[in-house]
Amino acid sequence: MNDTTQQDLTLLSPIQLGAISLKNRVVMAPLTRNRAGGGLAPTEMNVEYYRQRASTGLIITEGSQIAHEAAGYPNTPGIYTQQQIDGWKKVTDAVHEKGGKIVLQLWHCGRVSHSSLLPNDMLPQAPSAIKLKGEVYTYEGMQPYETPHALSLDEIQDVIEMYKKAAQNCLEAGFDGVEVHGANGYLLDQFLRDGSNHRDDIYGGNLENRSRLLLEVVEAVSNIWGADRVGVRLSPLQPFNDMTDSDPKATFSYVVQALNQFNLAYLHVTEMGAEAPGAAGSAFDLTTLRPLWNGHYMTNSEYTFETGNAAIQNNDADLISFGKLLISNPDLVERFATNAPLNDFDSSTFYGGDEHGYTDYPFMK
């Protein structure tokens, strides 16, 4: 007889996440680090980085582009060539040897890109030809964003095929599942929010239409993996990448309930943007999404061991993903378990570079 109550659960409690058994509820958030090697494939340095963090219940990899056309930044890994698959296989083998679990985050940057990063100098793809404000980081330095190419209906089907192929590649690479990146102003998020989607066909206008591509991608990926090994990430209030929505509460309440049909392994909702209410649209209490979701719920944003435990015990979340704390504390779980002090992080080494600020953070003695 299991007498465990919600109040007994902590970040260190095991959990069954769909078909994936986790030894704890500490999750490594997807963290862009811009350290892929030649051919945008993972290197031995990347293998070591993920191996070091295998004591977390689940690792979600950095966003990995599903095709060359999906890239948005220099030196981010892909999952569309054999070299990349082989590089990721070394990562998954290393994590599994340490008893960890790892899923890959499937990424299409959409309009958050530049022609110099894409095949044949093509324009970035988007739901609508709406240019972002500001500049994008390229191999030639900062450059102004370009007006993206609005995808045709046929091209949208091509994008879905890219997701399917990438999901199949993840099987070959030995992952435990995949996370569909529907957050942070990238392609699927661009379709969801009416600030970036001005289409007047079946992929634009009302909530059903704006959600269509996300749901079709999730269905396609679930058909390959089984939905119980698929997660989705959303960011309802994130203004990053010039994102806005006229009614984020209505938009994301609809999306969360629509995703229930798949019985996914988890839903991953980042709270980023909640600290600057109104930037991406009228603010709302993100905890209102939790009761709308029928499955396991993960959240993220500046949590500590104490606040993470409280969120789990209050049933506001089942798991917490950590970013900066796991960058600087590869043994974060062990530090949580022993109430040990944490390493400080060096934000100047977050993006690009070598082992410094990547694989050289000290473990506990």
Which pLDDT belongs to residue 278? 72
Which pLDDT belongs to residue 5? 81
Q: Are 53 and 27 in contact (CB under 8 A)?
A: no
Percent of the chain at pLDDT exceeding 90? 93
Average per-residue pLDDT in the chain? Answer: 96
Position 58 in a domain? yes
pLDDT by residue (tens digit) across 14-56?
Answer: 999 999 999 999 999 999 999 999 999 999 999 999 999 999 9
DSSP letters along 188-210, please? HHHHHSTTT----STTSSSHHHH
List the catalytic residue out of 80, 145, 186, 303.
186
Position 354 in a domain? no
Q: Which DSSP letter does residue 278 get?
A: B
Q: How confident is the model at residue 84 (pLDDT cuts 50, 70, 90)?
A: very high
Position 29 in a domain? yes
- In 3D, which of 114, 133, 134 has the Cα closest to residue 124? 114
Position 98 in a domain? yes
First-to-last alpha carbon distance for the chain, in angstroms, is: 39
- Residue partners of 87: CB distance under 8 A and separation at least 6: 37, 41, 42, 43, 46, 77
Give me the mean pLDDT over the 334-356 stretch.
96
Which pLDDT belongs to residue 19? 98
Residue 233 has pLDDT above 70, yes or no: yes
pLDDT by residue (tens digit) across 315-344?
Answer: 999 999 999 999 999 999 999 999 999 999
Phi-psi label, residue 15: left if phi above 0, alpha if psi -120 to 50, beta otherwise? beta
Q: Are 203 and 127 in contact (CB under 8 A)?
A: yes
186 is catalytic: yes
Q: How confident is the model at residue 1 (pLDDT cuts 50, 70, 90)?
A: very low
Rounded to whole angstroms, how far apart are CA atoms 222 and 170?
12
pLDDT by residue (tens digit) across 267-316?
Answer: 999 998 887 767 777 888 999 999 999 999 999 999 999 999 999 999 99
pTM attached to this predicted model: 0.97
Instruction: State the residue range of the domain holding 104.
Output: 6-349
Position 356 in a domain? no
Q: How confident is the model at residue 130 (pLDDT cuts 50, 70, 90)?
A: very high
Domain of residue 270, CATH code: 3.20.20.70
Q: Are 270 and 233 in contact (CB under 8 A)?
A: yes
Percent of the chain at pLDDT exceeding 70? 99
Position 329 in a domain? yes
Total domains in the chain come to 1
Position 144 in a domain? yes
Residue 2 has pLDDT above 70, yes or no: no
Position 236 in a domain? yes
Give me the mean pLDDT over the 190-218 stretch.
98
Q: How confident is the model at residue 3 (pLDDT cuts 50, 70, 90)?
A: low
Q: Are 312 and 306 in contact (CB under 8 A)?
A: no
pLDDT by residue (tens digit) across 92-123?
Answer: 999 999 999 999 999 999 999 999 999 999 99
